[in-house]
Each structure stands twice: as C-alpha cells, then as structure tokens.
Amino acid sequence: MKPGEVITFVKQQNAKVVDLKFLDFFGIWQHFSVPVKKLSEESFESGYGFDGSSIRGWQPIHASDMLVIPDPTTAIMDPFMETPTLSLICDIVDPITKERYTRDPRSIASKAENYLKYSGIGETAYFGPEAEFFVFDDIRFDCGPNSAFYFLDSVEGQWNTGRDEKPNLGYKPRYKEGYFPVSPTDTLQEIRTEMVLILESLGIEVEAQHHEVATAGQGEIDMKYAPLVRMGDRLMWFKYVVKNVAKRHRMTATFMPKPLFGDNGSGMHTHVSIWKDGRNLFAGDRYANLSNEALWAIGGILKHTPALCALCNPTTNSYKRLVPGYEAPVNLAYSSRNRSAAVRIPMYSPSPSARRLEFRTPDPSCNGYIAFSAILMAALDGIENRINPGEPLDKDIYSLSPEEMADVPTAPGSLEEALKALEKDRDFLLKGDVFTPDVIDTWISWKKKNEIDPVRMRPHPLEFSLYFDC
C-alpha cells in the first residue's frame, strides 16, 4: 500500500489505534501505539519520536532522540487485539540527519538487498527459514546469588509417563521420536493449525506444519520463501503469532535453541537462492544440478561460518545445540540430501526454479534481518572471489573415522569462540556499508558483557553434583 491507501484502509477497517512495531538490536519486537487520528499521509515521512537510549544496544542517553518511520507496505490489522488496531512495521531514522540508523536491523537488511543489486550478481535473494519451536504448558525460572533453577513441563513430555494426571492417558512422544506422529500422540495439531490460519490471514503463505523430533511439544511451521527484507518482516510476524496463539491456550512458546537436555534442539534451517532477470542463478549442470555461482556461494558460506555463527547462533544457549556427534550440523561440509552437512542441497524437485542451498547451522534465537543479511554477504563474497567449496561429503559424517573427521572443519563450540571469529573475519560484512564497524563492535561488546560473562561467572547446578564434596 501507499500512504494514501493506508489511510483509506484504516477507515475501511474502522481502526481505532495504530501500533508502531520495530526491532531492537538483537531481534525482539518493540512497539508503541498512537490514536488513529495521529496517523496521516505526512506521518510516513515525518515519523514519530521515541527514546532510543531505552532500546538494547542503541543510543547513549545524551543522544537518545530517534524517529520511527512507518513503512506503508507493511500495513495490516493486528489479529490479536480486541480493539481494531492497525499494525505498521517501522524503520529507524536519525532526527537530525534524516539518515537510516545503522544499528536498525531492518536498515541492515535493506542495505544487503541494495548491495546485491550493486554487485551486478543478482537482483533478488530469496530466503526460506524453517524456524522450529517448543510449546510448553509451564515454565518457571529464577537466578539469584545463592540459588538458580529452571523448570518446564508439557503434557507431552516423556518424563511424565508416570505422573498421576487423573488419569494419565499415555501417548507421550519418546525422546527423539516426535517426528510426524498423529493424534493423540501429537496433542498440538489444532494449535499449530490455528497458527497457520492466522499467518495465512496476514498474507504469509505456509507450506507445511508438523510436530518435530523432540518430545514435549516441539513443532515446525514452514513459510514460503520471500525476498530478504520481506522475510525478515514475516519471521517477526511468525514469532508473534506462534507466541500469542500459545498464550490463548494458556501455554507458552519459545524459540530458545536448547530448552531440553538430552533431546533435539530447535534449529532454523535457512534456504537461500539468488535470482537475476527472472532466472535462478543457482540452477546449473554441476554437482546436484547446481551452477558455478551456487558452488562458490557455498564456498563463501562455509569459509565464513565461524563468523556467521556469532550472528546466526547468537546466544550462549545456541551452543548447547551445536555439539559434535549429535543432531546439529556442526561439520562445515556440503552435500545433496545429507542432513548432517552444514550446507545441504534439497533434492525434492528437479525444477531449476527450486534449486537452492539450505544452510542448516542457524537457530531461531537469531535476529532474522541480521542473520539473512550476513548469509547473503557470505554467499556474495564466495561468488565474487570464486571460493572453491571443495568436494562434497556424501557419506554419513558421524560414521567417519577419526582420521577422516580430522579433515572436516567444525563450527565454533561457544558464543565466545564465534565472537572471536567475527572479530577476525568481518571484512565481507563491511562491503557496501551493509554492516558498519560500529554495528559489529557493539554486537560483540554487548554479547560479552551482558551474556557471556554473566553465564560464565554463575555456578551451574550440575557443578554442585560434580564438585560439592571435593
């Protein structure tokens, strides 16, 4: 929609409130609302002021004034508000220079799309994330100087087979056996369907939904691919819908990568392709029907994966999932069909338009705008420099001998290790001013101070079992 069309839409929908949504630095939607009378065509240029110093990782207190500028193309009615509420996703602008704010994730994604066009390599990068999540019945946690605990529960949890549920009806997915069971084992079919129908009502096309591998309510809903910025917007709506539908049912949803010990974590396998002049650049006659450009893109992604992990797996919890020998693809190799490789080439369809890469390392705790932008920049660096990805690995990686495994590099084992890789390997992100040095430095310093150090300095409950009697 254009600004004038949004004003007409507001009247047609009898909207009473305008909700202005934007993203903090690390991926959480923020918002504030204004009465509908405060929205005019001029609002899409003049914007609305707010305090940027109160947003994580943003402005200092002495330079806190910022503007949100609504994007009229994102206008939609919020599906969860009782009062008719128009939702607008906003960009962040400096009120003095009128330039887009460099730490605004949506701005970074826009610059990545612009750099793709500037490079001459392509016109559009399509992304299709598969964001997995858990829906629990209960979650409690607390951290103090002398105590810490977490407790989560699900009627589906295999650990509840012996609980007196008056009556306990069984049908609880066994650990690592939650993939595709029907009802009554799958208790969340109707809830996921509700999520799907709301997403579709928002114009977000869904390809499939199903229970995932873990016990205790792990699920997946797959959206159809879309261009980078648009998919960033859709991923935010996706998380919003999943969490709010769960809340409707007095349940709670989380995209935390590894909430359960001993069972599968939640990944976000991300499908990528680059198009130019209506043609998929990744389709060709090389390995797995890929083009040279696709293979070079794989080379770029694999080369830069240690740095990418700092942005695509940005939490300390992410590395509870990225553990060698388990379900996560930590081995930096590529293959057709083989899901134990970090980059897989899906072979569902012979159509050239379907040829794409699937980067399997990311998880859904990431900021989609930033993660997709970084993946695109790594792929473009691979194409620009014709980075050879090496030979494909079409064996079961986990059955290789130690000698064979020694030749397969792996992803970082901790957030600290990933941030160190990002410190050393950042030049590919700085091209076209997509990421600025300030953005990367701020990301690294915030993560160290606010996440790595507090987790590292806090005693872990298991340490008491291991060491209290030492």
H or E segment at 333?
Answer: none
Distance CA 146, CA 285 (A): 62
Beta-bridge partner residues of 85: 17
Is residue 208 over pLDDT 70? yes
Distance CA 468, CA 470 (A): 6
Q: What is the mean pLDDT of residues 124-153?
A: 96
Is residue 64 over pLDDT 90? no
With a CB cutoff of 8 Å and minimum separation 6, the contacts of 375 are: 127, 270, 272, 301, 308, 312, 359, 362
Q: How far is CA 53 from CA 46, 58, 59, 62, 451, in A?
A: 20, 6, 5, 8, 19
Catalytic residues: 51, 130, 132, 212, 220, 269, 339, 358, 360
Both structure tokens of 262: 């001993």
Span 299-351, pLDDT tens digits? 999 999 999 999 999 999 999 999 887 767 888 999 987 677 899 998 877 88
Both structure tokens of 283: 């389709």
What is the chain's mean pLDDT, rounded? 94
What's the alpha-carbon Rg for the chain, to the nearest Å? 23
Alpha helices in 164-214 (DSSP H): 189-201
Is residue 60 over pLDDT 90? no
Distance CA 225, CA 269 (A): 12
Q: How many CB atoms lie within 10 A of CB 428?
A: 22
Q: What is the pLDDT of residue 324?
A: 81
Contact assessment for residue 253 and residue 102, using Cβ atoms and an 8 Å cutoff? no
Hey, what amino acid is at 244?
N
Q: How many CB atoms lie within 10 A of CB 354?
A: 16
Is residue 462 over pLDDT 70? yes
pLDDT band at 96 (very low <50, low <70, confident <90, very high): confident
> Following CA atoms 55, 57, 61, 64 in sequence, which dihedral angle do they give, to the nearest 10 degrees?
-60
Q: What is the pLDDT of residue 321?
A: 95
Span 226-270, pLDDT tens digits? 999 999 999 999 999 999 999 999 999 999 999 999 999 999 999
Is residue 91 over pLDDT 70? yes
Distance CA 274, CA 139 (A): 41
Distance CA 342, CA 58 (A): 33
Q: What is the pLDDT of residue 196?
A: 98
More confident residue, 143 or 326: 143
In 3D space, the residue among 21, 16, 46 whose CA is nearest the CA of residue 32 turns out to be 21
Percentage of the chain exceeding pLDDT 70:
98
In 3D space, the residue among 277, 297, 278 whose CA is nearest the CA of residue 287 turns out to be 297
- Strand, coil or helix: 240: helix
Distance CA 311, CA 317 (A): 13
Contact assessment for residue 303 and residue 359, using Cβ atoms and an 8 Å cutoff? no
Is residue 52 over pLDDT 90? no
Per-residue DSSP letters for 7-55? Answer: HHHHHHHT--EEEEEEE-TTS-EEEEEEEGGG--TTHHHH-EEEEGGGS
Span 412-452, pLDDT tens digits? 999 999 999 999 999 999 999 999 999 999 999 999 999 99
Residue 285 CB-half CA count within 13 A: 0
Distance CA 142, CA 125 (A): 42
Per-residue DSSP letters for 347-366? Answer: -S---GGG--EEE-S--TTS
Distance CA 229, CA 239 (A): 16
In 3D space, the residue among 306, 228, 212 whose CA is nearest the CA of residue 268 turns out to be 212
Contact assessment for residue 365 and residue 255, using Cβ atoms and an 8 Å cutoff? yes
Q: What is the mean pLDDT of residues 210-239?
A: 97
Per-residue DSSP letters for 395-442? Answer: S-GGGS-HHHHTTS-B--SSHHHHHHHHHHS-HHHHGGGSS-HHHHHH
Distance CA 345, CA 359 (A): 9
Tokens 């096309």 correspond to 205
Is residue 399 over pLDDT 80? no
> Considering only 134-138, 154-158, 181-185, 340-344, which range has the smallest mean pLDDT?
340-344
Is residue 59 over pLDDT 90? no
Distance CA 227, CA 220 (A): 21
Is residue 362 over pLDDT 80? yes
Q: What is the pLDDT of residue 76?
A: 97
pLDDT band at 54 (very low <50, low <70, confident <90, very high): confident
pLDDT band at 62 (very low <50, low <70, confident <90, very high): low
pTM: 0.95
Contact assessment for residue 272 and residue 345, using Cβ atoms and an 8 Å cutoff? no
Percentage of the chain exceeding pLDDT 90:
86
Length of the chain: 470
Q: What is the pLDDT of residue 408?
A: 84
pLDDT band at 398 (very low <50, low <70, confident <90, very high): low
